[in-house]
Amino acid sequence: MLAAYTELRYAEKVKQFLLKKGFLHQDHLPVKELDHIFFAMTKKVAVPHAKVVNTKFSFPERQKAVTVDELLKKELTAKEMELLPRTQELVGEILILEIPEELKKKGKVIAEAYLKVNKHITTVVKKSDIHTGQYRTRKVTILAGKKTKETIHHENGIELKLHLERTYFSARSGSERLRIAQSIKPGEEVLVMFSGAAPYPLVIAKNSEARHVYGIELNPEAHAYAVENVLLNNLQDRVTIMHGDVKHKIPPLKKKFDRIVMPLPKTGEQFLDLALLKAKKGAIIHLYSFLDEAEINPYAKKVKQICKKLGKEVKVLRKVKCGQFSPGTFRVCLDLKVL
Ligand SMILES: C[S@@+](CC[C@H](N)C(=O)[O-])C[C@H]1O[C@@H](n2cnc3c(N)ncnc32)[C@H](O)[C@@H]1O
């Protein structure tokens, strides 16, 4: 077999040369012989620091990564393959699948394929319903792997301990959290209403020069995770999490904020009175909602009117689509400036 034969000290140089020129045979592993090494080649060309030889031996095959589709082709019909979920969410080491009704009986086989192919996954679950109730939690069912619903998620330089059923969390909002953090100016005091397990407060504290970030969360279990997560990230000097209903926690607060984040998409606007009460003049409010394209401008107008009725003028700085809730419906953030 055609190969570049070189001394070990030139191995990296030769390999890089072959890779760059596209002559390294990717199906075969290199073979070492004392202080020399052979790289299988696809074409006879001169190689600096190496002799090009024809070996009598054959090279070991490089193991090709198997894909989920390859594994499942043996288990599912062509029609079933078309129904395979193409969007998944990875939270820590747990993969969350949406299994369509037609594939319900194949859920375990599908989950095992994902587990086999992806070394970073230890558990595969399926969504059993959507986020509901005041705490915005949901049920998931374990399909394969370790029997746990708790994991540590890594995002934007922080670690978050989470339980998939006890606290709300969406890995898909990671880039939106970073957007907010990156818009913060040094010294800002930030309030996150509805803080859950503390992803917003921690990403903000870690990725900005905010002076202090406060969070308020109603769900006692999410609050307990938040408190643990603040310590896990060693941010207790700059993040304070409070447990309770924003309606009771916000009015007695002695301070006003430069920025208020309101991540409660379905009913957030009902809490604008509290946000406006504690927003400094010129403060920014990030208000989230689920909206169809056609609803975005009317919603922005409605929010301005709500604020006016509450005695405050706001300017809509941006309407940011920051995720998809369902086909045609977006997670939208209105960036509002309090005038
Ligand atoms: C959509 S989740 C967002 C959680 C978190 N900010 C995140 O992004 O992962 C909304 C959170 O608001 C909390 N919540 C709902 N009503 C509340 C209220 N009146 N006061 C404080 N928290 C509330 C829920 O328990 C839930 O954890």
CATH number at 298 reads 3.40.50.150
Other C-beta atoms within 10 Å of 285: how many? 26
- Mean pLDDT (the chain) is 95
Q: Compute the distance from residue 198 Cα to the ligand 1 centre, in Å.
A: 10
Among 247, 264, 267, 271, the mutation site with the greatest number of ligand 1 atoms within 8 A of its Cβ is 264
* Residue 155, in any domain of the structure: no
Count of domains for the chain: 3
Phi, psi values for residue 177, rounded to 5°? -60, -40
**Contact (Cβ atoms closer than 8 angstroms) between residue 202 and residue 230:** yes
The pLDDT > 90 percentage for the chain reads 88
How far apart (Å, rounded) are the C-alpha atoms in residues 304 and 339?
11
Residues 183 and 264 in one domain: yes
Residues 231 and 90 in one domain: no
pLDDT for 85 beyond 80: no
Residues 143 and 205 in one domain: no
Q: Which of 87-91, 161-165, 221-225 has the lowest mean pLDDT?
A: 87-91
Query: Which residues on adjacent β-strands are paired with residue 51?
Result: 5
- pLDDT by residue (tens digit) across 295-323? 999 999 999 999 999 999 999 999 999 99
Instruction: List pocket residues of ligand 1, CB cut-off 6 Å.
Output: 134-136, 168-169, 173, 194-196, 199-200, 216-219, 222, 245-247, 263-264
pLDDT for 62 beyond 90: no
Residues 255 and 297 in one domain: yes
Residues 246 and 194 in one domain: yes
Q: Give the mean pLDDT of 51-79.
A: 89
* Residue 158, in any domain of the structure: no
Domain residues for the domain of 304 are 171-338
How far apart (Å, rounded) are the C-alpha atoms in residues 290 and 140?
22
CATH number at residue 101: 3.30.300.110
Q: Is 263 exposed, middle or buried, given 0-12, 13-18 or 19+ CB atoms closer than 10 A?
A: buried
* Residue 128, in any domain of the structure: yes
**Contact (Cβ atoms closer than 8 angstroms) between residue 303 and residue 248:** no
What Rg do the C-alpha atoms of the chain give, in angstroms?
A: 27
- The secondary structure of 235-292 as a DSSP string is -TTTEEEEES-HHHHSTT----EEEEEE--TTTGGGGHHHHHHTEEEEEEEEEEEEEE
Q: Which of 78-82, 152-156, 324-328 has the lowest mean pLDDT?
A: 324-328
pLDDT for 131 beyond 90: no
Residues 193 and 310 in one domain: yes
Query: Which residues on adjacent β-strands are paired with residue 193?
Result: 216
Of all atoms in ligand 1, which is nearest to the CA of residue 222? 27
| β-strands 31-33, 88-91 pairing | unpaired
- pLDDT by residue (tens digit) across 22-60? 999 988 999 999 999 999 999 999 999 999 999 999 899
Residues 176 and 241 in one domain: yes
Residues 213 and 320 in one domain: yes
Cα angle, residue 163 at apex, residues 157 and 168 outer, rounded to 5°: 80
How far apart (Å, rounded) are the C-alpha atoms in residues 255 and 260?
12
Residue 97 CA from chain centroid, whole number:
15
- Note the pLDDT of residue 86: 75
- Note the pLDDT of residue 64: 75
* Residue 63, in any domain of the structure: no
Residues 139 and 113 in one domain: yes
* Residue 328, in any domain of the structure: yes
* Residue 162, in any domain of the structure: no
Q: Return left, alpha or beta for 177; rule: phi > 0 is left, psi -120 to 50 is alpha, else beta.
A: alpha
* Residue 251, in any domain of the structure: yes
- Note the pLDDT of residue 338: 98
* Residue 189, in any domain of the structure: yes
Residues 114 and 226 in one domain: no
Q: Compute the distance from residue 194 Cα to the ligand 1 centre, in Å.
A: 3
